[in-house]
């Protein structure tokens, strides 16, 4: 394999990894606070992509306005999902909450099949992102370069919000101890909604970038990336935002690189994430950056 | 107790009689639904054993079913048939040579699924709750991906065709009744008490001397075994299988049955398996053209699943443990409520009048 092909794969891997990272952050934040796999996260991602699609094609809005609108709508949608599917079960057994999450995911997917239609749609990629850049001998679609940059900027913003602002402090407090945070006067429900809003916003950004890189939209498009990104969050250490980004990059790079080096394994691509998950759970169940938690009796 | 046994025996005889009547009067479409009900009872019970009784949230059912379906189908297909089905990639000689009559093939399919379940369970039983769910889901996806890619054994995405469609009401419902009996016996015994203890409080159960790992392991293996049997029955009812059949949505359907019926209730699972399976067919009208005389609605494909996922959401939000919860069918309850009450009242009145 020549160095230019390698660089090409590297760029693709980093770009895919940053998409995974955007989604994984949403999983990790929700899990950190509610100890719940938000199964519907992948479908929120799908929703964001479709919103951007309709804003551009049906309402003929300029692409930047469409993207902002899509992100806002997805944020509202994400908070709505939390309010209707998770909030009523806050004190129920975990198995019920998990079933509710799976049910919400399937409901969104099936409604999407009815409303958006089961036929694939093609995402209208704005010119700015579709340009082919040639760096030396490597030619790359510009969205491949923009994606990691946007991801890192959003990560910096998110880390600022979580670590420096009052809301961020409240978020950290809720994830450390839900009850104690409530007793200290933190409006826990507001913080949870805020977490879902941020996660959904990032999922929407991820969805739009995904649509520009892989422009086939399907109502079930969020299922596989959703599962994989949860795995990325687990690999990085669930509850840790930097860990989620690290996990996303590891997963994206290994998917692209393993197939680049062993083309015979192409068919097994979707299994790589699950193998990675099982290995990490056996070797270091808390994830790469996770802290050890002892179980309280 | 003796009375109960007699009543149960009578009920089973009545059920068999009813099934016999159905078998003679139903057309092939209705018979197919009847068979599906039986198969889904087996699948629902096997998932309820792992998820409801043991409290391990496993989402690996589609994978176990795939193992059972492929193993049993490959065993019953004749070598000539295999040659014609495997036209893209030649079949592995060992797979071509292996063959067994249907009952043994079904059993071997179940055993293979049980072995796979055990192999999967050994490493992942250290995990809890959602991690376990994701890991089992992951394994089930891996099984599907392997089935898609291992063309010389599974015929890849083309799937297997022309499997003998030998499953009739006797097979599906006979095995369903056997499964109900087996799970009931299991839950009445010390093993059942132990896994219920694990579900309620793991640490307390361990302190009482219940071997957590071994009991969870058995639960997984038995659950996977029945899932494999269910998969084998499904393969021999439909006549064709392919990897796309065994996606997560199949697990979701079984989960739907378990949740609607009651997480941890045999009776609930049996009832909801029949209700859900029949409703899946009844609600087909939603996807066809509807004619109200003065206006028409074009059929909306996918509407059935919207109804079912909405139903699941409604049930889980208002009845977090399912409609039946952990309640079971009970002769005493029925006898006292419905009929004996009348006798009791009369007796009481008599005694009162005698006292006077």
Q: Which residues in chain A have Cβ-Cβ distances shorter than 8 Å to B249?
A: 106
Q: CB-CB: which of A94, A110, A273 is closest to B305?
A: A110
State how far residue A37 is from chain B, nearest Cα, in angstroms: 7
Q: How do residues B7-17 score in pLDDT, each as one tens digit?
A: 888 888 888 88
Are B145 and A114 an interchain contact pair (Cβ–Cβ within 8 Å)? no
Nearest to B233 by CA among B68, B13, B77: B68
Q: How do residues A257-284 score in pLDDT, each as one tens digit?
A: 998 888 888 888 888 888 888 888 878 8
**Gap between the Cα atoms of A180 and A173, Å rounded:** 8
pLDDT higher than 80, residue B73: yes
Q: What is the pLDDT of residue B295?
A: 63
Rg of chain B (C-alpha set)? 23
**Gap between the Cα atoms of B261 and B265, Å rounded:** 7
Q: What percentage of chain B exceeds 70 in pLDDT?
A: 89
Q: How do residues A244-255 score in pLDDT, each as one tens digit?
A: 999 999 999 999
Least confident of A147-151, A281-285, B327-331: B327-331
Q: CB-CB: which of B131, B305, B320 is closest to A96?
A: B320
- The class level of CATH for A3-283 reads mainly alpha
pLDDT higher than 70, residue B341: no
Q: Which residues in chain A have Cβ-Cβ distances shorter than 8 Å to B316?
A: 89, 96, 99-100, 103
Nearest to A219 by CA among A44, A16, A46, A3: A46
Q: How do residues B243-257 score in pLDDT, each as one tens digit?
A: 999 988 899 999 999
* Chain B stretch 226-285, residues whose beta carbon is closer than 8 A to a beta carbon of chain A: 248-249, 252, 255, 259, 263
Q: How do residues B274-302 score in pLDDT, each as one tens digit?
A: 999 998 888 877 776 666 666 666 667 77
Q: Which residues in chain A have Cβ-Cβ distances shorter than 8 Å to B146?
A: 268, 271
**Which residues are bridge partners to A133 per DSSP?**
A140
ipTM, interface predicted TM-score of the complex: 0.84
Whether residue B117 contacts residue B220, with contact meaning beta carbons closer than 8 Å, is answered with yes
Least confident of A79-88, A264-273, B32-41, B232-241: A264-273
State how far residue B319 is from chain A, nearest Cα, in angstroms: 9
Q: Is B132 on the interface with A (CB under 8 A)?
A: no
Question: pTM for the whole thing?
Answer: 0.87
* Mean pLDDT computed over A186-200: 92
* Mean pLDDT computed over A130-140: 77
Q: Is B138 on the interface with A (CB under 8 A)?
A: yes
Nearest CA in chain A to B138: A274
Q: Is A89 on the interface with B (CB under 8 A)?
A: yes
* Between residues B140 and B344, the one the model is more confident about: B140
Whether residue B324 contacts residue B338, with contact meaning beta carbons closer than 8 Å, is answered with no
């Amino acid at each position: 394999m020549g160095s230019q092909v390698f660089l090409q794969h590297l760029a693709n891997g980093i770009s895919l990894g940053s998409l995974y990272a955007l989604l994984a952050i949403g999983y990790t934040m929700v899990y950190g606070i509610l100890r719940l796999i938000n199964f519907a996260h992948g479908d929120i991602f799908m929703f964001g992509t479709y919103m951007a699609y309709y804003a551009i094609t049906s309402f003929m809005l300029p692409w930047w306005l469409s993207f902002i609108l899509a992100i806002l709508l997805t944020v509202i949608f994400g908070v709505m999902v939390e309010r209707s599917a998770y909030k009523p079960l806050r004190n129920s057994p975990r198995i019920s909450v998990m079933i509710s999450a799976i049910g919400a995911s399937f409901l969104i997917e099936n409604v999407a099949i009815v409303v958006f239609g089961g036929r694939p749609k093609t995402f209208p990629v704005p010119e700015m992102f579709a340009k082919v850049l040639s760096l030396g001998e490597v030619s790359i679609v510009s969205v491949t370069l923009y994606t990691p940059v946007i991801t890192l900027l959003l990560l910096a913003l998110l880390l600022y919000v979580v670590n420096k602002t009052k809301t961020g402090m409240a978020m950290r407090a809720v994830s450390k101890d839900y009850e104690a945070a409530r007793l200290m006067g933190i409006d826990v429900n507001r913080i949870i909604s805020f977490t879902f809003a941020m996660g959904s916003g990032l999922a929407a950004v991820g969805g739009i970038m995904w649509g520009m890189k892989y422009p086939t939209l399907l109502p079930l498009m969020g299922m596989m990336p959703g599962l994989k990104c949860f795995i990325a969050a687990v690999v990085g250490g669930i509850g840790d935002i930097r860990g989620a980004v690290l996990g996303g990059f590891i997963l994206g790079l290994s998917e692209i690189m393993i197939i680049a080096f062993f083309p015979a394994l192409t068919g097994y691509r979707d299994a790589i994430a699950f193998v990675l998950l099982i290995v990490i759970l056996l070797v270091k169940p808390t994830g790469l950056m996770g802290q050890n938690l002892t179980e309280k009796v | 107790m003796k009375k109960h046994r007699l009543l149960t025996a009578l009920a089973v005889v009545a059920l068999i009689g009813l099934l016999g009547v159905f078998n003679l009067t139903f057309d092939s479409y209705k018979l197919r639904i009847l068979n599906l009900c039986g198969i889904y009872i087996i699948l629902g019970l096997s998932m309820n054993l792992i998820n409801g009784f043991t409290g391990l949230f496993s989402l690996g059912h589609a994978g176990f079913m795939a193992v059972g379906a492929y193993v049993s189908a490959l065993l019953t297909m004749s070598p000539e048939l295999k040659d014609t089905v495997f036209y893209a990639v030649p079949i592995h000689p060992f797979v071509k040579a292996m063959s067994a009559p249907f009952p043994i093939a079904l059993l071997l399919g179940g055993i293979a699924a049980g072995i796979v379940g055990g192999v999967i369970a050994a490493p992942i039983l250290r995990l809890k709750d959602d991690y376990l769910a994701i890991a089992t889901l992951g394994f089930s996806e891996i099984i599907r991906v392997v089935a898609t890619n291992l063309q010389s054994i599974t015929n890849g995405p083309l799937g297997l065709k022309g499997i003998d469609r030998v499953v009739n009401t006797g097979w599906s419902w006979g095995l369903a009744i056997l499964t109900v009996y087996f799970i009931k016996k299991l839950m009445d015994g010390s093993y059942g008490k132990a896994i219920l203890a694990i579900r309620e409080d793991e640490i307390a159960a361990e302190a009482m001397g219940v071997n957590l790992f071994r009991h969870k392991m058995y639960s997984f293996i038995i659950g996977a075994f029945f899932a494999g049997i269910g998969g084998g029955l499904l393969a021999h009812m439909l006549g064709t299988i392919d990897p796309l059949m065994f996606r997560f949505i199949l697990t979701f359907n079984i989960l739907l049955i378990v949740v609607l019926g009651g997480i941890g209730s045999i009776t609930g699972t049996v009832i909801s398996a029949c209700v859900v399976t029949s409703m899946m067919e009844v609600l087909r009208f939603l996807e066809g053209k509807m004619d109200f005389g003065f206006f028409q609605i074009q059929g909306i494909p996918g509407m059935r699943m919207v109804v079912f996922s909405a139903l699941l959401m409604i049930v889980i939000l208002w009845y977090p443990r399912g409609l039946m919860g952990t309640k079971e069918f009970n002769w005493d309850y029925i006898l006292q409520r419905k009929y004996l009450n009348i006798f009791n009242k009369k007796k009481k009145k008599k005694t009162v009048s005698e006292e006077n």
